[in-house]
Structure 1
Amino acid sequence: MPHAYLAWWALAGVDGAVAEAPVNWLRLASARSPGLAGAAAPIAPPAPDKPRTLDAFLSWLATDSAQPERRWPGQPILPTGPARAPLMVITDMPDLADAGAGTLFADRAGVLFDAMLRAIGLSRDAIALASLFTVRPPGGMVEASDLATVADRMRLHVHLAAPHRLLLLGDRTIRALLPTGSVPDTSGLHPFNHDGGIVSAVATFHPRLLLTQPAAKIECWHALQSLIEEHHP
């Protein structure tokens, strides 16, 4: 107990005739004495500004070291196509054959993909083409946190690219981007929310699945018809 009294009088300044600064005894000790409360919590750095143009976005995607794909080997396959394209096609990631070719939808899947485009009156040079992941991860497996990151990134991409319609290919793409996470169906147009509003999207099977399950081509065709009707009312 004597030690407590001595500490009180020391804090009161009895050991000195004049204090350097007044002391507010009604304040909490942690507020009076920062040294007793420990170091202040570090201030988080401000989030970097998002790209505001499509060109700036593509440059950021190609050079930013914080992109999740930087952890994996392989050369990124970047998005292609013009802004305000009549259709933007989004897939999940490059296939094994794509990495060697340096382009999405190479090999047999690419032949089928081109046939799908011809069926709706389009070709590759008229569309915008992108994948959620620009590099295929080892084993084709991704973590949920990475999928959420690239889904947010794609919403920004769609906003800046401003396509007239979207075509989402594959179950993983659809689950990441559509609000209901629905599997491919023939229900026509789905609303896709991006950073600047809403654009209509058609969801269907990936060509890689159609190669192994030809019966799914019928459902795929029904989905693509929604795009044909949109372009030719």
Structure 2
Amino acid sequence: MTRAEPEADGRMGEALSALLDWYARAGISTFAREAPRDRFAETEAETERRRAGRPAAGGPAPAATQGAAPLAAPADRRPAPLPPRPAAPAIALRSDEALAAEAREQAAKAGSLAELQTLLAEFTGCGLKATAKNLVFGNGSETADLMLVGEAPGRDEDLAGEPFVGRSGRLLDRMLGSVGLKREDVRVTNTVPWRPPGNRTPTPAETETCLPFTLRHIELVNPRILVCLGSPSAKVLLRSEEGIMRLRGRWASITLPNGATVPTMAMLHPAYLLRQPSQKRLAWRDLLALKAKLDEKD
């Protein structure tokens, strides 16, 4: 034996002593079997057994399952495919033209303002209905000589379900009173009966979809004179792209679906006059022209 061999045996003994000491401090005091377990080999054998679909060969059953009925291992451990999800119901997408055609068909059915309001409340072709709190149909005399048409309800109108309330409504009442007209003697409505979210301007598609109901509203009231309050109302009813400052104060006429024509004038909206009080002088001129037209004999 060479000198190096005793030194190697000494180092090996020291290593084994250190390992046993570590085992003792870790709580390992006895060995389960003489030879170590090869976990990698066991895993490979179990994988092969499952692939082949046969029970494990030999060896004692695990302690947790001794005495229990053996469970047959499935040939394929992959999860079964999920059943097909039922298809969602198809949503029919309608074009703007189709919605406007439906609105014309529904509006034409109304023989009275009450029927028109019911049909409009049941109409689902305008998305604004889903976000508004109330339908703002109209108020005032149902046989008025003068009819006023605004653009769309604001917050106050949406909450009340009535057109032209709040500050703009009070100003409109004073404007009418300045020429001897009472609010309850005129008919008031809007081109769009539901408030757009955030008081935004109604889109052209929203306005065109609601327009047949507005025109039928005018037909049923059959006023002598029609006033468009504000630029959006004037543009859609007069079919003009001119601004309100060029349209206001000028007499024109609109032809309704039933063939009747109505003298029509555009005026500044009360909400605009609240923001621009200096323009009230123009509104006064238009009110005087309106009063003169109403006083004309047929």
1: distance between equivalents of 2:127 and 2:217?
16
Q: CA-to-partner distance for each residue in 1:7-60, whole Å, 9 max, x for gaps?
A: xxxxxxxxxxxxxxxxxxxxxxxxxxxxxxxxxxxxx9x964522422321221
TM-score by length of structure 2 reads 0.58
- Ranked by relative contact order (alpha carbons within 8 Å, sequence separation 6 or more), the top structure is 1
Find the counterpart in structure 2 of residue 72 from structure 1. Answer: 131
What secondary structure, in the 3-state scheme, does the structure 1 residue paired with 2:284 have?
helix
Contact 2:154 2:195 in 1 (8 A): yes
Report the alpha carbon displacement of residue 68 of structure 1 after superposing the two structures with TM: 4.3
Find the counterpart in structure 2 of residue 189 from structure 1. Answer: 251
Q: Does 1:210 align with 2:273?
A: yes
Alignment map for 1:165-184 (pairs within 5 Å): 165-184=225-244
Report the alpha carbon displacement of residue 65 of structure 1 after superposing the two structures with TM: 2.8
Aligned partner letter, 2:264: A
Find the counterpart in structure 1 of residue 289 from structure 2. Answer: 226
2: distance between equivalents of 1:186 and 1:94?
21
Root mean square deviation of aligned Cα:
2.2
Aligned partner letter, 2:216: L
In structure 2, the CA distance between the partners of 1:227 and 1:213, relative to structure 1 (3 Å rule), is same
What secondary structure, in the 3-state scheme, does the structure 2 residue paired with 1:90 have?
strand
TM-score by length of structure 1 reads 0.73
Q: CA-to-partner distance for each residue in 1:123-161, whole Å, 9 max, x for gaps?
A: 121111111111111122322211122223322221122
Aligned partner letter, 1:156: R
1: distance between equivalents of 2:230 and 2:197?
19
Alignment map for 1:43-54 (pairs within 5 Å): 48=105, 50-54=108-112
What secondary structure, in the 3-state scheme, does the structure 2 residue paired with 1:121 have?
coil
Report the alpha carbon displacement of residue 72 of structure 1 after superposing the two structures with TM: 2.2
Report the alpha carbon displacement of residue 67 of structure 1 after superposing the two structures with TM: 4.1
Count of residues in correspondence between the two structures: 189
Q: Does 1:97 align with 2:156?
A: yes
Structure 2 residue runs of 5 or longer lacking an equivalent are 1-97
Aligned partner letter, 2:139: T
2: distance between equivalents of 1:132 and 1:151?
6
Contact 1:192 1:199 in 2 (8 A): yes
Find the counterpart in structure 2 of residue 9 from structure 1. Answer: none
Aligned partner letter, 2:132: P
In structure 2, the CA distance between the partners of 1:165 and 1:73, relative to structure 1 (3 Å rule), is same
2: distance between equivalents of 1:165 and 1:81?
15
In structure 2, the CA distance between the partners of 1:153 and 1:182, relative to structure 1 (3 Å rule), is farther
Contact 1:94 1:105 in 2 (8 A): yes
1: distance between equivalents of 2:220 and 2:262?
12
Report the alpha carbon displacement of residue 207 of structure 1 after superposing the two structures with TM: 0.6
Structure 1 residue runs of 5 or longer lacking an equivalent are 1-43
Q: CA-to-partner distance for each residue in 1:74-106, whole Å, 9 max, x for gaps?
A: 111121233331111111111122223332222
Which structure: larger Rg?
A: 2
Q: Percent identity?
A: 24
